[in-house]
Amino acid sequence: MYRVVYEKQAVKDIKNLKSARLDKKAKELIEIIRVNPFQTPPTSEVLVGNLQGFFHGGLIFSTGWCIRYTMSR
């Protein structure tokens, strides 16, 4: 099992997820990532450019929200 650490901006955005009624779906995806980030689904994509080293969590909400994460030892 992996430990999930939220960035400051993610903590601020939680209230926006709640107001858009996306908090439940986000929690489900974060739980999948916490248990096994390599599980399919969701599919994960390695990001490039200024997001190099991050993964896209395979879910983009209709409002444009997405979950990006990185793994460290």
4-50 confidence digits (pLDDT tens)? 888 888 888 888 888 888 888 888 888 888 888 777 666 667 777 88
3 assigned to some structural domain: no
Instruction: Kindly indicate the confidence band of residue 64, based on its pLDDT and cuts at 50, 70 and 90.
Output: low
Total domains in the chain come to: 1
Positive or negative: CA dihedral 38, 41, 46, 47: negative
Note down the domain range covering 52.
Answer: 8-69
Positive or negative: CA dihedral 72, 39, 5, 69: positive
1 assigned to some structural domain: no
Mean of pLDDT values over 48-66: 70
What pLDDT is attached to residue 46?
75
24 assigned to some structural domain: yes
Q: Look up residue 18 and give its two tokens.
A: 């709640």
What pLDDT is attached to residue 63?
64
2 assigned to some structural domain: no
**Is the pTM higher than 0.75?**
no
41 assigned to some structural domain: yes
